[in-house]
Amino acid sequence: MDISSIPSPCYVLEEAKLIDNLRLISSVQEQSGGHIILALKGFSMYKMFPLVKQYLSGATASSLNEARLIFEEMKCKAHTYAPVYKENEFDELMSYSSHITFNSLNQFERFKDKVAANKEHISMGLRINPQYAEVETDMYNPCIVGSRLGITREALGETLPEGIEGLHFHSLCENDSFVLERTLVHVEEKFGDLLHQVKWLNMGGGHLMTRSGYNIGHVAKQIERLRKTYNIEVILEPGSAIAWETGVLVSTVQDIVDAQGVNVAILDVSFAAHMPDTLEMPYKPRILGAYQTELPGKYNYRMGGTTCLAGDFMGDYAFDEPLKIGDKVIFDDMIHYTMVKTTTFNGVALPSIGVLSTNGEFELHKSFGYETFKEKL
Ligand SMILES: Cc1ncc(COP(=O)(O)O)c(C=O)c1O
């Protein structure tokens, strides 16, 4: 990659890597007969939607804005799910949606007549809570006790309400197909009778098919088994898997300070504003060419963010050579979730967005100025 042509900071998606991911995911569809759609909440870089659409069956939205983006830029209707829908947005939401999943029976009761009266058929579903998840961090676990996400078996009767054509569960997070298999034991134990009453089952996201070691044949077998056992359409809606390891966030060292014995390289990116997931999780992003920990005999640095938040830093990393002002620091795997979470916190400028094309050339797609910042206030 010729770094000098890329502005800093900038998210750089590598098209060839995205294509590799899409090909692999598409092979799961072919092997299993299931449908795999993109969850925009994890990757909504719409310039790439025409490419995504060549491989996947569509996309899922979690808000009116995402549904509209799918409709306008992917030229198809969205599978929509949100914990709540708003009365004043619902008519417009219906115009962009082929499927609408409700998080509670209250929400279904509130909006079902509107859906039934809509001139084009919209398939209605309910989100269920299998009360089983293998997710260690509570922040990402939709099945913790008291979770607002989905309806438990006790709350549903023996027959699904009239008009419901599908069920939806989402309880995986960066998991493999064996976690899915164990989850399905609980889903089928609790909801198996209801699966015979629907046309489709959406198994949410969290299927990290593009992580090395993921067993594609195993997931395909389960999708096929479900399709045949219940005579249903099976849908998966991963976000992370689509953009997993497809690009980087390029930043530049602006200053180096000695903070009471700690060497801090202050960058033109912010962990709080540009990479909030690194602080929320918390997880430590990889830096290309650096060791991910302090090491004796190496040049050790903490990476400082550009906002005034005291906790806006990430530590500590070791380098073979000392860092200098103007050096590039490149954070790896920053396309899924990070790009969508970037904000204008503290008024910092948003990173530009571009693509390293298959021909090796960098194409700048977007740069943001004051107007973007102002509009967000
Ligand atoms: C309902 C639903 N579907 C799909 C996804 C996408 O999950 P992932 O990006 O982990 O594949 C999420 C993530 O939170 C979700 O809540």
Q: What is the pLDDT along the chain (377 residues), one digit of tens a residue?
A: 678 889 999 999 999 999 999 999 999 999 999 999 999 999 999 999 999 999 999 999 999 989 999 999 999 999 999 999 999 999 999 999 999 999 999 999 999 999 999 999 999 999 999 999 999 888 889 999 999 999 999 999 999 999 999 999 999 999 999 999 999 999 999 999 999 999 999 999 999 999 999 999 999 999 999 999 999 999 999 999 999 999 999 999 999 999 999 999 999 999 999 999 899 877 899 999 999 999 999 999 999 999 999 999 999 999 999 999 999 999 999 998 888 877 777 777 889 999 999 999 999 999 998 888 787 76
Domain with CATH 3.20.20.10 in the chain: 33-243
What does the pLDDT read at residue 349? 81
What is the 236 CA–ligand 1 centroid distance (Å)? 10
What does the pLDDT read at residue 143? 94
What is the 238 CA–ligand 1 centroid distance (Å)? 6
Q: Which atom of ligand 1 is nearest to the CA of 140?
A: 14
What does the pLDDT read at residue 253? 98
Q: Which atom of ligand 1 is nearest to the CA of 208?
A: 11
What does the pLDDT read at residue 280? 83
What is the 44 CA–ligand 1 centroid distance (Å)? 13
Q: Which atom of ligand 1 is nearest to the CA of 173?
A: 10
Domain with CATH 2.40.37.10 in the chain: 3-11+247-334+342-375
Contacts of 229-234 with CB under 8 Å at 24 or more apart are 229/195, 230/195, 230/196, 230/198, 230/201, 232/195, 232/198, 232/199, 232/200, 232/201, 233/34, 233/35, 233/199, 233/200, 233/201, 234/32, 234/33, 234/34, 234/35, 234/200, 234/201, 234/203
Name the CATH superfamily for 3-11+247-334+342-375.
Answer: Lyase, Ornithine Decarboxylase; Chain A, domain 1 (2.40.37.10)
At 251, is the secondary structure helix, strand, or coil? strand
Q: Is the CB of 270 under 6 A from ligand 1?
A: no
Q: Is the CB of 41 under 6 A from ligand 1?
A: yes
CATH topology for 33-243? TIM Barrel (3.20.20)
Cis ω on the peptide bond leading into residue 282 (within 30° of 0)? yes
What does the pLDDT read at residue 1? 66
- Residue 9: exposure state from Cβ atoms within 10 A (0-12, 13-18, ≥19): buried
What does the pLDDT read at residue 164? 98
